[in-house]
Amino acid sequence: MPSLLVSALVGLVGARLASSTVQALRTAHNQSPFSNSANLPATSSCGGGVASCTNTTVVSDLCCFEAPGGLLLQTQFWDTKPSTGPANSWTIHGLWPDHCDLGFSENCDPSRAYTNIGGLLSDQGAQDTLDYMQTYWVDIDGHDETFWEHEWKTHGTCMSTLKLRCLPEGSPKGAEVNGSSIPAHFKLLRTSFRPSRFSTP
């Protein structure tokens, strides 16, 4: 049995994640050969909003504001004997949009339960993201692709900011999975906390 530490971080970071995710998608789209930048909404339309779960009135644009899952729960593992992934690092489990009252939704859009997520990413020129995932977002039994599909289907499809209508028109299939900003958030969180000992007795 591997020993493992689980860390879960809950944060009211919804609006910040939401805006940078959408912005990154729009920025990425701007740079893609498929883009028609004239059709893109201004990236500033997502800036400066109130954080998810702290709003006092209804926020209408859910492409820039994560709802109802405004509490983002990131889970990560530090396991040993044997370690999964790098021995000196957390590995990613998932990022889950919990509701403000700690309830949650799951499996929000079966039509976007994509398979071959690795292929979708490499087709979209996101080899850097894929490399990062292959290092830090690894499955305990080596079934990384199945693991990513499960996390995307169960939790990713519930992110309001990643709905298809939030993507620029003409985006390729799976463009919302091309989360060039999401690994950046993981990176920050993954490196922000360290267990007090590298291995458990």
Ligand X SMILES: *[C@@H]1O[C@H](CO)[C@@H](O)[C@H](O)[C@H]1NC(C)=O
Which parts of this chain interact with ligand X (CB under 6 A)? 28-29, 31-32, 55-59, 67-68, 124-126, 128-129, 172, 175, 178, 180
Cα–Cα distance measured from residue 162 to residue 160, given in angstroms and rounded to the nearest whole number? 5
Query: Which entry of 29, 155, 176, 185 is annotated as an active-site residue?
Result: 155
Tokens 């920050």 locate to 188
Question: What's the token pair of residue 95?
Answer: 């990022």
The minimum distance between CB 62 and ligand X, in angstroms, equals 6
- Prior bond of 68 cis (ω within 30°): yes
In whole angstroms, the minimum distance from the beta carbon of 98 to ligand X comes to 14
Active site residue 185: no
> Parallel, antiparallel, or unpaired: how do β-strands 71-80 and 3-11 relate?
antiparallel
Nearer to ligand X, 69 or 85 (CB): 69
- Among the options 66, 93, 149, 176, which is catalytic? 93
Nearer residue to ligand X within complex by CB, 74 or 178:
178
Minimum distance from CB of 123 to ligand X (Å)? Answer: 8
State the CB neighbour count (10 A cutoff) for residue 97: 27
Check if 93 is active-site: yes
Nearer to ligand X, 85 or 174 (CB): 174
At its nearest, how many Å lie between ligand X and the CB of residue 68? 6
Q: Which of 66, 151, 176, 185 is flagged as catalytic? A: 151
Toward ligand X, which CB reaches closer, 91 or 124?
Answer: 124
Residue 66 annotated to the active site:
no
List alpha helices for the chain, DSSP H: 14-31, 117-123, 127-136, 144-154, 182-190
DSSP state of 171: P
Cα(69)–Cα(52) distance, integer angstroms: 8
Active site residue ranges: 93, 151, 155
